[in-house]
Structure 1
Amino acid sequence: MPDTQNQPGAAIAGVGNDEALARATADGKAAGAKAANERMGAILGADGIKGDGKRMGAALDLALGSQDMVADAVVAFVTANVPAAETRPGQQQSYSDRRLAAAGLAQPEGQKEQGPDRSVLSASVDRVNKRR
């Protein structure tokens, strides 16, 4: 094995290695960022997590705190240990249904909420006014 450390010009030969090292480092960072984005997308887009704010928050915390866990393990842990958010009746309406339901609210004669029955009160006021 030749000893290149004591040969003249050995330091100059390493210049090409610096460029290759920089290129490899940049490629490695890009590949790592891509893998991390794919992992987060798989976690937050998984069935049972997607659309559930409570579970999405827990999955995000777990994924960021445990970088070594694969996406399937994070999803399995969160769906097993975090209860699903409670849905109220009418909450799962589509966008078009919600839009149609709210269409009359902007109109003056639109859908008005039914208030308390004021017929008794108005009858009483009418009787008092007749006496005067």
Structure 2
Amino acid sequence: QRPPADEMVMVLNGLDTDFDTENNFYAANTIPFYYQHHPIQINTNELIRIYVVNMVEFDPINNFHLHGNLYKYYPTGTDIVPSFYTDMITLSQTERGIMEFEYTYPGKYLFHAHKVEFSEKGWVGIFLVTDNEEQKESESYGT
């Protein structure tokens, strides 16, 4: 059994808007650039678990690069022991896995495809990491 975590799903996809069998946009969870303009908020020192699946059609590979941190990666998510400790994975079509990481310091941390075309066409986002100590103190004192 995996330890408790802040869990999310990221479906990596491409959008062929003119039906020419070439993707015009790329994204995590369908909307290009969404997480760049609406960062995913997470807390420092909290385990984050991402179930990632590459559903990009017309391109044989995709990847996921995390800035400022490394993550444990479990290909297909069928093992309790991670196969990699890295900041970037490459995924073939329909490949999936689980990523786990924690940030120690608050800040904005980029995540994106390392295939430049994908990033330029929308597959880019930001984690907004906040220090949750103030929130914990507030909850403890009831203020």
What TM-score do the two structures reach when normalised by structure 2? 0.22
Higher strand share: 2
User: Between Structure 1 and Structure 2, which shows a larger proportion of helix residues?
Assistant: 1
The structure number with the bigger radius of gyration is 1
Greater RCO (CA < 8 Å, at least 6 residues apart): 2
